[in-house]
Amino acid sequence: MNKAIIVIVILIIGVATAYFMTKNSQDVKQLPIIQPKDIKKEMVDPSLLEKGIGHRIGEFNLINQDGENITLADVKGKVFVAEYFFTTCMTICPKMTEQMTRVQAAFRNNENVKMLSFTVNPDYDDVDILKEYSEKYNALAGQWHFLTGTKEELYGLARKSFFVLKPAEAANLGDAGSDFIHTNNFVLVDRQLRIRGYYDGTSPDEVSELIADIQLLLKEA
């Protein structure tokens, strides 16, 4: 009789332990791996519209505010946040840049976290302009890169990798006077160069969520 009671107690303990372990596992937020097929069609290059698996950020070679060449190799194996902006923007860009300073503050000097701000107006935003802008927001050298290059490469990267530019209507060419309109999204990318989230870069609440999600990705293998 005593043996039967012991067996029942052990079974109860085992079931309870399994339940709480499963519950705790479910309570941990799981970030999605976002594919081109998951995104609004207007944001995606036509060649990628049906891609539902295996998307990674593509190669690039751009110049930062210090005149340094920055490539995909500089962020590979890191968690990073990307955005598109331009220095003369007087609407959403200042708000986005202010919010990006919060990301920098949360991970200040953390070598595993980078921020990339790509200009949509490289005809104006040269190295000197980006340097002045980066100093205005106290960007940390080596951690927060403001990037310029050819319009072809910048726009191609936005349409084929990050999905943050949409073609402008002919009558509404956007703030930069370009043929594209940039969104207010911050893009979260993991160590394996996969997109894990989009966040409204003008929203303090969503940027707080972004900061928390970066912490989650830093814990991933």
Q: 92-131 pLDDT, tens per residue?
A: 999 999 999 999 999 999 999 999 999 999 999 999 999 9
- Answer yes or no: are the C-beta atoms of 72 and 104 closer than 8 Å: no
pLDDT value at position 221?
67
pTM of this structure = 0.84
Question: Nearest CA to 187 among 81, 78, 49, 58?
Answer: 81
Work out the average pLDDT over 129-155. 97
Class of domain 33-219: alpha beta
Higher pLDDT, 18 or 123: 123
Domain positions in the chain? 1-30, 33-219
Residue 166 binned pLDDT confidence (cut-offs 50, 70, 90): confident
- Answer yes or no: are the C-beta atoms of 146 and 64 closer than 8 Å: yes
Residue 22 pLDDT exceeds 50: no
Q: How far apart are CA 98 and CA 106, in angstroms?
A: 13
